[in-house]
Amino acid sequence: MRQVPSGAALHARLIWRRNRGQIGLFVLLALLLALYAFLHPGLLSWAGIARFTQNWFPVALVAIAQTLVMLMGGIDLAIGATVGLGTVLAATLVGESALGAGLGITATVAIGVAAGGLVGTIVALFGLPAIIVTLASSFLIGGAALLVMPRPGGSMPGWLSEGLVGVHPTALLILILILVAWRVLRATPLGLSIDAAGDNPAGAFRSGVNVALARIAAYAISGGLAAFAGVYVAAQTGAGDPLIGNPLTLQSITAAVLGGVGFLGGQGTIRGAVAGSLLLAVLVNVMFFLGLPPVAQYVMQGLIIVAAMGIKRLRERAA
Amino acid sequence: MSNAAPVLAAQGLVKRFFGNPVLKDVSIEIVPGRVHALLGENGAGKSTLVNLLSGVLSPDEGRLLVDGQPCARLTPALARRHGIAVVQQELSLAPHLSVVENVALGAVPTRRGLIDYRRLAVEVGRVLDRLGLDVALDQPVEELPLGRRQLVEIAKALYRQPRVLILDEPTSSLTAHEVQALFKVLAELKREGTALVYISHRMNEIMHLCDWVTVLKDGTRTADRTMDGIDPPALVRLMVGREPGDLFPPFRSTTRDEPALEARALTAPGVGGVDLVVRQGEVLGIGGLLGQGQEELLLALYGALDAQAERLATGGVDRPSRNPADAIGRGLAYVPADRKREAVLLPLSIGFNLTLPGLRRLARRGLRRFAREAEVARELTAKLNVRGGGPERAVQLLSGGNQQKVALARWLPLSPKVLLLNDPTRGVDVDTKREIYLRLKGMAAGGMAVILLSSDALELVHLCDRVLVFRDGRIAADLPHGQASEEAIVAASLGVARQEAA
């Protein structure tokens, strides 16, 4: 007869198991962070940590957003556009309307959730390929952002910018909150459904999982996170800019791939996405301190995607 | 025990796929506390019946009754609610998730909206213990060997405490020990009043476990009776005996003396040590249940799977083919079962498809000669009687049978010495079948050696000079024409010793 573990013990073991295959990533990350701290001792101070996490934070958010979609076997080309829409909505609703900060941010995130949910519905119910649907929605969402604000403008209240991007690690705190929220969601049937639907959609369907709902939920959460990244970017720059999010689409894919999610879905974790985005952010900084030109970043991102997928493939073949 | 009212019953089920009836007027009663065997050859309609009983498909005619109440439209979700669970052959597990999560997926216990991990541990642990499955609850399923995964799949069905449990070949990847544990649980379930449906090709399991048997042949029910007083040879006889009609040309052997291909101790993934010789002009049949290494044998000969052999001589060379291009160079040609994916290029023209494999031979100084290609395409369409338009039409506009003719004809310009056919008439209409048979015999008469893998025992009986029956990756029987009856082939596939007198 087996020893029946307590519920908490089982939950803890399940969480721990999800780290498998990511130890290498975490080790690499620790080494790079150490190298970065060595090159730039200023990192190890409140201000250093605050500044670094503020640069990294939007990428971390879109990496989580992209991972959720890629888990479902899709890819989201509209993430950058959604971030852009988020900035212009924030700069309009929060800075220059009667809604106030709380309602304005909520409304912005809600619009992101709705946009993501709509895309997810089209993908899940009509079976259209995600790459096409999100390409189309990137134009729709990007166009909507340009309609709201044809050129950069609007404003964010000073206290909000100070709160989010001042010399204190608010960004880190929010990121930890998001990770905790995901852990809670993952401990619900819906969260489990999202993972199962990404891993084996046909099998999950046959097991009675509402796969369509899981897909829509993943896209909706993804849209909300991208819009919130927009709010944060608006606070950083003090204004809305419909085009500012565009480079984030590719960065989110790079970070998600680094974090372990493949182009065919399944096997991604949210902590992997965060780690992947952190690796990307640290690499960029390390390259800067090593005196490499900014253009080298693009070359590096390309190499990273191929290398990350290649290593994963080799490992699967060895198994 | 069999007086109990049926939990699930089907009356007069008819199901057609594209106009072809695959089930004709089949009735069945699933009774609590009884293990009900479902038997039949490849393609007899077993899986279709299971899919109808579990709501995956809906019948064209006939009706289903749950607890005596007619059920207008059974869906998988509704079937689950009625307590009908199916353990499929193909696994429905999420490989990266843990054993507990997989077993409970779709039916997780919750407390205040969160997964109740305590109850999960207790309840799933109980089911695993019952099956004697000694794995950690938190172990990811992908780390388990195949047999263990199959048991997790069974645990998943048991976890839902079904009233009807349908098992489709549940023991195919289990060890003897695991089978024993499973049988113990099935016996307990039977005592507790669960209705069990058991599909297996292992006769000893059927004899040991089952109380009642329904036999399907060609979509019709040929027996529905108790297992008392019936023996395996009698069951085999109930499965065979279809009427061939005038489908096949009269048999005439065209075998010559010279071997076209010789293999000794050929091994490949799924093939464990096969000796065979095919002679020029011979039609060699490959039969057996699905997935016993037949397809792998063809792929190994064709260089598409890694193969080792003491001897593999064909086309004047004695070594396994390195890859398909090498095999083609040695005079081998392969016509795959999945012609749409592996043979023809659907959106391209008939003419292009026909000339593609021989394109280089038709070219002069590296340039294509379109007039010559068109001529060859015309010859080939005429030769194989490809119907459905001229050579410029896209292959996807043709019927399945005519697509198959294209898949076959495209090799002819290379004049292969050995033709490997993988189930060439699957999903093909009767008239085209007849044409393909004639053409195949014609090619053999011309000296080509034909290796014909078929899931249809009748084809093997009527077309082949010799039939090799595969079982577990080896040749279980080598039957010359005349001795290769449908009954002999099925008996050898199932590993049933045949009583010659019977």
List CB contacts (< 8 A) between B156 and chain A: 207
* Sequence-separated (6 or more) residues with CB below 8 Å from residue B147: B173, B174, B175, B178
Q: Which among A286, A83, A73, A58 has a CA at the least distance from the CA of A178?
A: A58
- Position B344, amino acid: V
Average pLDDT, chain B: 89
Quick check: is A12 in a domain? no
- Condensed to tens digits (0 to 9), the pLDDT of residues A98-123 reads 788 889 999 999 999 999 999 999 99
Give pLDDT, residue A1: 57
Residue B35 has pLDDT above 80, yes or no: yes
Task: Among A26-30, A247-251, B170-174, B271-275, name the one with the lowest average pLDDT.
Answer: B170-174
Look at strands B20-30 and B35-40 and give their pairing.
Answer: unpaired
Q: Is A196 on the interface with B (CB under 8 A)?
A: yes
Q: Which residues of A touch B122 (CB under 8 A)?
A: 4
Contact, A80 vs A248, CB < 8 A? yes
* Nearest C-alpha neighbor of A138 from the set A36, A276, A248: A248
- List all residues 6 or more positions away from A259 whose beta carbon is below 8 Å from its beta carbon: A22, A25, A63, A67, A268, A269, A271, A272, A273, A274, A275, A276, A277
**Mean pLDDT value across residues B21-30:** 92
DSSP B396-412: GGS-HHHHHHHHHHTTG
- Which member of A8, A20, A189 has the closest CB to residue B110? A189
CB crowding B295-330: b at 16 or more within 10 Å, else e? bbbbbbbbbbbebebeebbbbeeeebbeeeebbbeb
Do residue A187 and residue B114 have CB atoms under 8 angstroms apart?
A: yes
User: Residue length, chain B?
Assistant: 502
| Interface contact flag, B94 A202, Cβ < 8 Å | no
A94 occurs within a structural domain: yes
Assess whether pLDDT exceeds 70 at residue A265: no
Contact A188 B156 (CB under 8 A): no
The pLDDT of B440-454, averaged and rounded, is 94
**What pLDDT digit, counting tens, does each position of B264-314 carry?**
999 999 899 999 999 999 999 999 988 899 999 999 999 999 999 999 999
Q: What's the pLDDT score for residue B11?
A: 94
Give pLDDT, residue B67.
93
- The per-residue pLDDT of chain A, averaged, comes to 89
Minimum-distance CB partner of A207 among B106, B118, B138: B106
A312 touches chain B (CB under 8 A): no
Q: Is position A11 within any domain?
A: no
Which are the contacts of B303, defined by CB distance < 8 A and separation ≥ 6?
B320, B321, B322, B323, B324, B325, B326, B327, B332
**A263: pLDDT strictly greater than 80:** no
Across the interface, of B88, B121, B156, the residue whose CB is closest to A4 is B121
- What was the pLDDT predicted at B56? 84
The answer to whether the CB atoms of A10 and B115 lie below 8 A apart is no
Residue that has been written with the tokens 């934070």 in this structure: A57
Superfamily of domain B243-343+415-502: P-loop containing nucleotide triphosphate hydrolases (3.40.50.300)
Residue of A nearest to B93 (CA): A203
Question: Which segments of B79-186 are extended strands (E)?
Answer: 84-87, 110-111, 114-115, 164-168
Q: What is the pLDDT of residue A284?
A: 86
What is the phi/psi pair of residue A212, to 5°? -60, -45
Token look-up 């075998």 returns: B255
Closest CA to A187 of A270, A305, A254: A270
Question: Residue A161's pLDDT is what?
Answer: 87
Contacts of A1 in chain B (CB under 8 A): 129
3-state secondary structure of B27: strand
Q: Is B75 on the interface with A (CB under 8 A)?
A: no
Could you tell me what percent of chain B has a pLDDT over 90? 51
> In angstroms, what separates the C-alpha of B137 from chain A's closest C-alpha?
8
What CATH topology corresponds to B8-239? Answer: Rossmann fold (3.40.50)
* Residue numbers in B near A6 (CB within 8 A): 118, 121
B35 or B372, higher pLDDT: B35
A204 touching B (Cβ < 8 Å): yes
Question: With bands split at pLDDT 50, 70 and 90, how would you rate the model's confidence at B429?
Answer: confident
Q: What is the DSSP code string of B73-93?
A: ---HHHHHHTTEEEE-SS---
Q: Choose among A14, A188, A207: nearest Cβ to B98.
A: A14
- Give the residue numbers spanning the domain of A26: 20-318
Residues in chain B with CB shorter than 8 Å from the CB of A204 are 92, 94, 105-106
Choose, out of B88, B90, B98, B115, the residue to mutate when testing the contact with A (most A CBs < 10 Å): B115
Q: Are B74 and B49 in contact (CB under 8 A)?
A: no
Number of domains into which chain A is organized: 1
Q: What is the pLDDT averaged over residues A85-99?
A: 88
Please list the helix, strand and coil fractions of chain A in percent, rounded to the nearest 5, in that order: 75, 0, 25
Structure tokens at B141: 């399923």
| Cα–Cα distance measured from residue A115 to residue A220, given in angstroms and rounded to the nearest whole number | 7
Domain ranges of chain B: 8-239, 243-343+415-502, 346-409
Q: Is B103 on the interface with A (CB under 8 A)?
A: no
Element (H, E) at B381: helix B370-383
Question: How many other C-beta atoms lie within 10 A of the C-beta of residue A266?
Answer: 22
